[in-house]
Amino acid sequence: MNKSLKTLTRIKKFDIDEQRKLLAEQQEAEEQTIEELRLLNEKFEAEKIFATENPSLCGDFGLYTKRYLKIRAALEIKLNNIRQRIEEIRDIIADMFKEQKTYEIIDENRTKQEEKELTEKEQKLLDEIGTNTYIKHHKQ
């Protein structure tokens, strides 16, 4: 039974590592999306400045603004979905840690119980040896 708990613990650690990899991927995707939003906003601000300084060169800035808002909304939805996935993965990892800790506690308790039983057996054996020695010495 002890080996099975150690096996379960190892499997749980592997599963946690896999979830951590997924978490790292999602966090990287989050950073990339934030960077895309930042660059999009910078480009929009630059275009806005250019449009105000050169009204004759720029056509309809409103169409550009609509396109910008559409892209920004899509990126914000993407970012929100990524952040939700990150929270889900964190919850999964937390649950896995709780389960792993449970296995470790059970294993520790079993080990303590086995040590206690072994100590009790040794003590009974020593008591019996002591009693037999006492009886032998007092009979003589």
pTM exceeds 0.85, yes or no:
no
List the domain range (segments joined by +) for residue 87. Answer: 2-139
Look at the chain and report how many structural domains it folds into: 1
Average pLDDT over residues 72-98: 96
Both tokens of 63, joined, read 């169409």
Top mean pLDDT of 7-11, 66-70, 110-114 is at: 66-70
H/E stretch holding 92: helix 61-139
Average pLDDT over residues 7-13: 84
Q: Report the alpha-carbon distance of residue 132 to residue 124 in Å, rounded.
A: 12
Amino acid identity of 73?
Answer: A
List b or e across 64-87, with b for residues whose CB sees 16 or more CB atoms inside 10 angstroms. eeeebeeeeeebeebbeebeebbe
Average pLDDT over residues 1-12: 76
CATH number, domain of 7, equals: 1.10.287
Q: 39, 68 in Cβ contact below 8 A?
A: no
